Amino acid sequence: MAEFFQFETEFVDSLRCIPMQVRFNLDTCGVKLKLVHWNGFNAEQKQALVDRNCDQPRATADYRDFVQGLVTEQTGAPAKTLPIEDKPAWLDVAVVPEDVVLKAREFDLAITPSQWANLSPLQRFALIKLSRPSHENRNFLPAIQEFGLA
Q: Where are the domains of the chain?
A: 6-81, 89-146
d(CA 20, CA 98): 20
User: Residue 63 pLDDT > 70, yes or no?
Assistant: yes
d(CA 85, CA 110): 26
Whole-structure pTM value: 0.91
- Tell me the sheet residues that pair with 81: 31
User: Residue 1 pLDDT > 60, yes or no?
Assistant: no
In the chain, where do the E strands start and end?
Answer: 31-32, 80-81
How far CA 139 is from CA of 19, 124, 135, in Å, comes to: 12, 14, 10
Cβ-contact 79, 64 below 8 angstroms: no
User: Residue 70 pLDDT > 90, yes or no?
Assistant: yes
pLDDT at residue number 133: 81
pLDDT above 70 as % of the chain: 97
- Residue type at 138? R
Mean pLDDT calculated for residue range 40-69: 95
